[in-house]
Amino acid sequence: MTQSMPNIPSQPGLPWLPGPDAFQSPFTGWTRSHWEATADHWLEHIREYSSPLKASPRLPGPVTRDGERREGMETIGRSLLMAAPRIAGARGQDRLGLAAWYREALLAGTDPEGAERWPLGVTCKSPLLGVTNSIVEAANIAFSLHIAREWLWEPLAAGEKKQVADWLRHHARLEVWGNNWQLFPAMAEAFLRSVGEDVSGCIGARNVARVESWYLGDGWYTDGPEHSIDYYNAWAIHPYLWAWYTMTGQQDTPEGRRHLDRLREFVGTQSLMFAKDGAVLHVGRSLAYRTAVLAALWCAEISGVNPLSPGATRRLASGVLANFTAKGVGVDGPPNLGWYDQHLGSCQAYSGFGSPYLAGIGFLGLALPPEHRVWQDVEEPQPTDGPALVRALPDAGWTLNTHGGLVRLTNHGSDHCGLPVGGGTDPDDPHYAKFSYSTHTAPGTGAAWEDNVDGHLALLGSDGVASRRCALRATRTEGLVSGSVHIPQLHGKALPGTAVTTISVVEGIYELRCHLVRGPVEYAVREGGHAVAGAQPVQTGRSEDSAWVSNGDVFAAVTAIHGWQEPDTTRYTGANAMGEHSAVPALGAQRTTEETVHVALHTLTRDEAPSPETLKAAAAVVVSGTDVSVTWASGASQAFDLRTFVPWDGQVGK
């Protein structure tokens, strides 16, 4: 092994996994054979739990309200995303008989009179109308048929092709939710077009245009007209736009070339969201899809627009898969609902036992032949293997920071709130509403989300209930300084006369987080840092002006700079996707005027924990009214006015 190998957690002794190759893959030890072995192992789980006609496997795990038929369909549609590139890359050497097995499953599921027929989707207007998820699986199946058309579609008889095409066409004509779902009917239509089938009544071109109108910049789209920015860019929007332009023969049109440019930009920025040990930035919903985060990377490689070298591409992708495998994902059974271990608290109500197999789209690189450079070149460093860096994404309102052996995201752009519902409330989500996320921490769920301590500035009512951040009213990112404005909500309603402006400045392992709080003095305030979790109880500590937590690997602290008096820590059990035990450092304060300024230093690192003296000396901060200036120990400095940095209309909560 080279000295680089320890970047990736050591692999368990798995009989199905080849030994590491330190020559070709000095960072991860993983080669194409490791990817093939992992895909085969995960797909073997599907056949282990197969139904008689193969269309409705029943894996271990929960069932959604739509029932087992829906879950079985989802299991086939999503695992096919993994099987298709495995079949295509083998170029006919299908030693496991995957192509024949999945053809049988497709025919059984799309047979309108069959014993294992799949439920047909309905137009998405209300969840009460019936099962809609078959629209998603129609897209996954269409995508997979495109990837392995020679082995999945062409061997079908004419009548069998008509049966599958009829099922796809039904879904290609449906109206769907106004987010990434717009691309699902488009996928079914695109495949039908590519094989000369009837597409009358389909609206894929309109749907694609809608999604393209949600483009922000730096390769990123918002997932619908709301401020929802997440990995749906990686595992749905970019891959399905890529497939649409490919299947409809529009790669060389202005629209097709524009998308390839955006795909290149996206991979360039998303590649900064993976830590050296393969850990993935933990933000957004549907995180049980795990390796699906790699799909856009493979699309860029296949299309020749990848900004990374082939060796760096394999190093990044293999690091992610090796990390999840080392943590046990898919090792002793099908991948579960969670991140590493099962954790239902971080999953959505629409996730059932087959949902995690969307991870299969992250295996798309197996469609490239074994002789392709991405599999033959020696591994090269991925972007976060090099010197630590900070990258602002102004259009997304995000700042990425790779200092301290992890990747941290400062969030002043995404909230996933959408339009107000239920009397003017903006429902928020712990995986969108926090001020910061990282590759080695996760937001609190369950009881921790009810308390809403971590990654948050809360106004506290007399009953101790914390306000919610909810929808952002304005955002701005300028270099290393970023900020946003929100109207705090309590018990589902906006707090009258309140508003919070927050500005973040990043420097190394630190973030200076500054708040201008406007509202009645009876509301106390609380500031929480990152929640750190582990298999064993997390270490905690506090001093006169700091609170800190550590699991022996990750250290997080908050230090009072201005306007805070009460450092403390809070513990939870079963409330964090990173481990059974978690703890959060926090600061508290009582307010004496209706306009108050609060400044805290947030620290997050996997390197040696800073001493209390180092924390105190990290930054010299001067607060004068709403003006804040900071001079860091490195000599860097910033200055801004909390009142004016983020332009907005100044309207407080009503």
Ordered by start, the domain boundaries in the chain are: 25-385, 390-641
User: What 8-state DSSP symbol labels residue 235?
Assistant: I
At residue 486 the predicted structure's pLDDT band, cuts being 50, 70 and 90, is very high
The 3-state DSSP composition of the chain as helix, strand, coil percent (nearest 5) reads: 35, 20, 45
- Whether domain 25-385 has CATH 1.10.3720.10: the reply is no
For residue 598, CA distances in Å to 371, 503, 543, 562 come to 58, 11, 18, 5
Cβ–Cβ < 8 Å for 582, 529:
no
pLDDT reading at 439 higher than 70: yes
Query: For residue 8, what pLDDT band results from cuts at 50, 70 and 90?
Result: low
% of the chain beyond a pLDDT of 90: 85
Sign of CA dihedral 289, 293, 296, 301: negative
pLDDT in tens, 11-46: 666 889 999 999 999 999 999 999 999 999 999 999
pLDDT reading at 124 higher than 70: no
Tell me how far CA of residue 472 lies from CA of 127, 259, 483, 580, in angstroms.
Answer: 27, 28, 10, 31
Give the pLDDT score at 421. Answer: 42
- In sequence order, which residues have a C-beta less than 8 Å from that of residue 514 and are 6 or more positions away? 502, 503, 504, 505, 597, 598, 599, 628, 642
Encoded amino acid at 530, one letter: H
In which element (H, E) is residue 632 found?
strand 627-632
Question: How many C-beta atoms lie closer than 10 Å to residue 369's C-beta?
Answer: 14
CA-CA-CA-CA torsion sign (574, 579, 581, 582): negative
Residue type, 335: P
> With 70 as the cut, is the pLDDT of residue 125 above it?
no
| Statement: residue 2 has pLDDT above 50 | no
Is the confidence at residue 118, as pLDDT, over 60? yes
Confidence band for 422, pLDDT divided at 50, 70 and 90: very low
Residue 4 pLDDT more than 60?
no
Residue 629's H or E segment, with its range, is strand 627-632
Q: What is the pLDDT of residue 349?
A: 82
pTM (predicted TM-score): 0.95
Residue 426 has pLDDT above 80, yes or no: no
Which CATH number is correct for 390-641, 1.20.1260.10, 2.70.98.70, 3.40.50.300, 1.10.3720.10? 2.70.98.70
Write the Ramachandran bin of 416: left for phi over 0, alpha for psi from -120 to 50, otherwise beta.
left
